[in-house]
Structure 1
Amino acid sequence: MLKQFLNLKLSQKLSPQQIQLMKLIQLPTQAFEQRLLEEMNENPALETGSDEDDYEEDEFQNDDYDDDYDDNEDADRNEVDDINIDDYLSDDETPDYKTQANNYSDDDDSRESPIVANISFHQDLINQLNTFILDDEERQIAEFLVGSIDDMGYIRRSISDLVDDMAFTQALYTDEEMVEKMLHVIHELEPSGVGARDLQECLLLQLKHRTPTEYVDLAIDIIENQFDAFTKKHYDKLIQKYNVSIEQLKKAIHEIERLNPKPGGSYTGNNKVTENVVPDFAIRIVEGELELTLNGRNAPSLHVSKDYQDMLRTYKDSRDKSNDQKDAVQFIKQKLDSAKWFIDAIRQRQETLFVTMNSIMHYQEEYFLEGDETKLKPMILKDIADLVGLDISTISRVANSKYVETPYGTKLIKEFFSEAMKNDQGEDVSTLEIKKILQNIIEEEDKKKPYPDDQLADLLKEKGYPIARRTIAKYREQLDIPVARMRKKI
């Protein structure tokens, strides 16, 4: 049986404007500039620059506007007259200082990164290939092999798979012997080691291009016949196997360490995108005090188009309003609403960014004054959210994608956040502080006998940080530090 009933409940929904504001806050400086350009292209009522000086305060305000017309006007005029045109005309007289931030740095000039027109990695290999004398079939196979090289410089496929691919995709029928022959041609190209099928072959190719010496020959033998022992750093076995001294083995390993395990990755002409980090904030120390500035590119000067105001004034002064004029006013109203909201959203974005970073700066004041990472205090998103009175999600949007220029380098803001742990005195210390101390211990260890994780845990405990061995392993992995055996040197 169907029944109808009322159910009252409270729910919180974000308006489209609030959602757009959150997206603006999340954008770093460069992405924000792109979003600004898109908005200006979509909304002709929005302009940049200082154009407000052409208007006087309250120039278009007229509280007696409705009295200018006879009471016998058609009733259909009321529908459009519900639009308070004065609201749109007067908003553009907002002084320039209200739409700009007074806390931005001097680097607000538009700076574009130069574009270098380099040839690609693969095109350079093809150009080198053109210097070899090859027949048509050999050239086709060689070019296919070049196209199979990944960005690191490797061909990570078997010869049989390459033969099948050439048959299916290129209608080029050949055999493994011919492909192997052309692979040797590829191995003659620069950078040395390109076209290798694995790390062992890559290192061998580079060593064989070196001028032969006692230590290069030993390095070749080690890579070719004792690669597993070398990768596991079983140096005692290698000394016993080759009957050499520690010094001789050390020099042979030095030859190997000079090699490039990713020959394609070091090619300066590849097409990889280089990220250009633009700091959103700058922190400077002025007379012993911290000074925070917001990048001026986050504080554009925006105003409503003068042409759109003229259109509204023309409509306002007109006594006979056609349907086309009414439609035009509705369109103008929508664009002005959008422009006004966007200008206000930018102002809110500036305020949110500044107050959030300002709170972080003062929370970590000791670090910013001294630059010592061990001075970083435990800090979570909620700590800053409580200080500035904003939601945790808003603080997260600011921290995750913004950079700050400090006297000690440009830092990602989220790197200043960390959990707290108790030391042996019962005091809260940052996990960043513990990681820094762990890193210092490993850097100062004897590389002939590096500390295993349980010994690292004992050393930290002696320094007042009682941490379990599994936690040491986790921190070591986060710091991208290998296990003790892989840190061993002779």
Structure 2
Amino acid sequence: MQKLHLSQSLSQKLSPQQIQFIKLLQVPTAELDTRVEEELEINPALEEGKDEDKKDSEEEFEDNYEEESNFEEKEVNIEDYLNDDYSGYKMQGDGNYTSEEDQREIPVSGGISLHEQLIAQMGFLKLDERQKIIARQLIGSIENDGYIRRDLEAIINDLVFSQNIETDVDEIEEILRKIQTFDPAGIAARNLQECLILQLERKEHPDDTTVQNAIKILSECFDEFTKKHYSKIQKKLDLGEEELKESVNMITRLNPKPGGTSDGLVKTQYIIPDFILTNTDGKLEISLNSRNAPELRISRSYSEMFDAFEKSDKKDKKLKDTVTFVKQKLDSAKWFIDAIKQRQHTLLKTMQAILDFQGDFFYEGDETKLKPMILKDIAERIEMDISTVSRVANSKSIQTEFGIYPLKYFFSEGIATDSGEDVSNKEVKSVLQSLVDNESKKRPLSDDKLVKMLNDKGYNIARRTVAKYREQLQIPVARLRKEL
């Protein structure tokens, strides 16, 4: 049996203008030009340039807009826009706002790829047609860092299905060894151990005991070498301390990624700051990057066209459709201009609040001066939603006299001290880094010792927190920091 029920619910919707503002807010300066260009291309009612006669164009249009509005606003669920990658309140992760456009490589003229270099070198080998096909298949399996990580059995299967060539592991390895003689040294290795040994074999000389010992270390004691168990290596290979030190130094100077720089193409990333901070006689002033303030205006011809249509006979269906089209384009142009202005206002308001909160840092550039600060602190100061602050902080950066910093750098959690105050975890990390930098590399400090030293300095911190901060700073465990 079917029943009818009445229910009442409260939902929040975003207008098209709000959606446009949210999308523009999270776009970094480097991409704003592209976004503006796109809007100029799709909307003929939007033009570049300063609006010199705003009253005649924009205000008259607003008067007409009030008289008759056939444009229906599209309602969109707010969850679609607030629960995305930009609403992470804890600011986790180090990556800035990225998109497919960010990840594209910058084209560089005149370069030659790693694979092209290897194919060219293949021409110097005396290979028959069958061997050339196998060699090309192997070269095609080499990754950008110079390694072949695909199993040889898988490459054999590829040759059968794609080239109709049946082969075996012995034949594949024979051709692979020839490719491994190519430049750069260590190319086409299947793992790090093989890569380093290949490079040492190029240096080997009957009278060079340092190279021979280095090859022995990698061949017979690779596991001990990676864990820096030098005493075990000495005992196993019967090496003196000086012999071991010379061989280890030689190994550490080898290239673990032989293909990393061989293609001649450098991937360059340019950081364009959204804000510029200047210190004028002790007074800090924030300004927006000029690229954040494009000069846009509503097309006068489109405004006049709309005004003329409004005064004409509205019974003609084609004319009414034209009026609707022109009106929508004018609406869209005005909303876009307003969204750009609102973006500028929100960026400056948020950055000013961060500046006020972290003033000590911006005067001196000392990381230890940073105070614990979370998104909620700034959201309350500027009376905006946390997700709005998150969008600004996740994708923007500021240029200071101490360098360029992403805004999320200034957000951190607090650590209690003996005095009862909270200090930024950035300060604790800075002290931790200093302790590790100044330790004896022959006897590196363990996490337990680091905890005790930090506690002695007044920071109430647990061992697991020290381990977490050490990993975030990319500091290896004490055993791996040990040097001869």
Shared fold, TM over 0.5: yes
Compute the displacement of 1:31 (Å): 2.3
Measure, in 2, the Cα distance between the counterparts of 1:338 and 1:378: 41
Compute the displacement of 1:209 (Å): 1.7
Match of 1:217 among 202, 212, 217: 212
Alignment CA distance shift 1:307-1:128 (3 Å): farther
Measure, in 1, the Cα distance between the counterparts of 2:14 and 2:59: 33
Match of 1:478 in 2: 472
Q: How does 1:132-147 map to 2 (within 5 A)?
A: 132-147=125-140
Please list the CA deviations of residues 162-195 of structure 1 after superposition, one character each: whole Å capped at 9, or x if unmatched. Answer: 2222112221222222211110121112221110
Match of 2:68 in 1: 82
Q: How does 1:6-17 map to 2 (within 5 A)?
A: 6-17=6-17
Alignment CA distance shift 1:115-1:240 (3 Å): same
Measure, in 2, the Cα distance between the counterparts of 1:483 and 1:395: 36
Compute the displacement of 1:56 (Å): 7.5
Assess if the C-alpha contact under 8 Å between 2:310 and 2:323 holds in 1.
Answer: no
Measure, in 2, the Cα distance between the counterparts of 1:59 and 1:260: 65
Compute the displacement of 1:129 (Å): 1.9
Alignment CA distance shift 1:56-1:30 (3 Å): closer
Assess if the C-alpha contact under 8 Å between 1:279 and 1:405 holds in 2.
Answer: yes
Match of 1:202 in 2: 195
1:308 is the counterpart of 2:325: no
Match of 1:445 in 2: 439
Match of 2:47 in 1: 47
| SS of residue matched to 1:127 | helix
Q: How does 1:1-400 map to 2 (within 5 A)?
A: 1-50=1-50, 52-53=51-52, 55=53, 57-58=55-56, 82=68, 115-117=107-109, 118-210=111-203, 212=205, 213-270=208-265, 273-316=267-310, 318=312, 322-400=316-394
Assess if the C-alpha contact under 8 Å between 1:401 and 1:412 holds in 2.
Answer: yes
Please list the CA deviations of residues 220-271 of structure 1 after superposition, one character each: whole Å capped at 9, or x if unmatched. Answer: 111112111111111112223333332222121111111111112233535x
Measure, in 2, the Cα distance between the counterparts of 1:128 and 1:382: 60
Assess if the C-alpha contact under 8 Å between 1:304 and 1:339 holds in 2.
Answer: yes
Alignment CA distance shift 1:334-1:458 (3 Å): same
Compute the displacement of 1:470 (Å): 1.4
Measure, in 2, the Cα distance between the counterparts of 1:44 and 1:278: 29
Measure, in 2, the Cα distance between the counterparts of 1:410 and 1:61: 41
Alignment CA distance shift 1:279-1:56 (3 Å): closer
Q: Which amino acid aligns with 1:47?
A: E
Assess if the C-alpha contact under 8 Å between 1:399 and 1:414 holds in 2.
Answer: yes
Residues paired across the two proteins, number: 446
Match of 1:414 among 395, 408, 418: 408
Greater mean alpha carbon deviation, residues 41-50 or residues 139-148: 41-50
| SS of residue matched to 2:405 | strand
Assess if the C-alpha contact under 8 Å between 1:80 and 1:326 holds in 2.
Answer: no
Assess if the C-alpha contact under 8 Å between 2:106 and 2:268 holds in 1.
Answer: no
Alignment CA distance shift 1:284-1:127 (3 Å): farther
Assess if the C-alpha contact under 8 Å between 2:20 and 2:336 holds in 1.
Answer: no
Alignment CA distance shift 1:131-1:425 (3 Å): same
Measure, in 1, the Cα distance between the counterparts of 2:57 and 2:358: 49
1:465 is the counterpart of 2:459: yes
Measure, in 2, the Cα distance between the counterparts of 1:337 and 1:62: 13
Compute the displacement of 1:374 (Å): 0.9
Give the superposed CA RMSD. Answer: 2.6
Assess if the C-alpha contact under 8 Å between 1:187 and 1:196 holds in 2.
Answer: yes
Measure, in 2, the Cα distance between the counterparts of 1:83 and 1:14: 19
Assess if the C-alpha contact under 8 Å between 1:315 and 1:321 holds in 2.
Answer: no
Overall identity of the aligned pairs, in %? 49
TM-score in terms of structure 2 length:
0.86
Assess if the C-alpha contact under 8 Å between 1:154 and 1:198 holds in 2.
Answer: yes
Assess if the C-alpha contact under 8 Å between 1:149 and 1:195 holds in 2.
Answer: yes
Measure, in 2, the Cα distance between the counterparts of 1:370 and 1:62: 51
Please list the CA deviations of residues 118-138 of structure 1 after superposition, one character each: whole Å capped at 9, or x if unmatched. Answer: 232222222222233322111
Compute the displacement of 1:384 (Å): 0.5
Please list the CA deviations of residues 283-312 of structure 1 after superposition, one character each: whole Å capped at 9, or x if unmatched. Answer: 222212222121111110111123212322
Q: Which amino acid aligns with 1:286?
A: T
TM-score in terms of structure 1 length:
0.85
Greater mean alpha carbon deviation, residues 452-461 or residues 15-24: 15-24
Unaligned runs of 5+ in 1: 67-78, 85-112
Assess if the C-alpha contact under 8 Å between 2:306 and 2:327 holds in 1.
Answer: no
Measure, in 1, the Cα distance between the counterparts of 2:164 and 2:439: 59
Please list the CA deviations of residues 432-483 of structure 1 after superposition, one character each: whole Å capped at 9, or x if unmatched. Answer: 1111111110111001000111111001011111211111111111111111
Assess if the C-alpha contact under 8 Å between 2:418 and 2:459 holds in 1.
Answer: yes
Measure, in 2, the Cα distance between the counterparts of 1:251 and 1:59: 78
Unaligned runs of 5+ in 2: 71-104
Measure, in 2, the Cα distance between the counterparts of 1:247 and 1:352: 62
Measure, in 1, the Cα distance between the counterparts of 2:16 and 2:55: 31
Alignment CA distance shift 1:290-1:477 (3 Å): same
Assess if the C-alpha contact under 8 Å between 2:58 and 2:298 holds in 1.
Answer: no
Q: Which amino acid aligns with 2:44?
A: P
Measure, in 2, the Cα distance between the counterparts of 1:81 and 1:378: 52
| SS of residue matched to 1:209 | helix
Measure, in 2, the Cα distance between the counterparts of 1:349 and 1:61: 22
Measure, in 2, the Cα distance between the counterparts of 1:375 and 1:354: 23
Compute the displacement of 1:198 (Å): 0.6
Measure, in 1, the Cα distance between the counterparts of 2:57 and 2:433: 66
Assess if the C-alpha contact under 8 Å between 1:282 and 1:294 holds in 2.
Answer: yes
Assess if the C-alpha contact under 8 Å between 1:303 and 1:343 holds in 2.
Answer: yes
Alignment CA distance shift 1:416-1:332 (3 Å): same
Larger Rg over CA atoms: 1
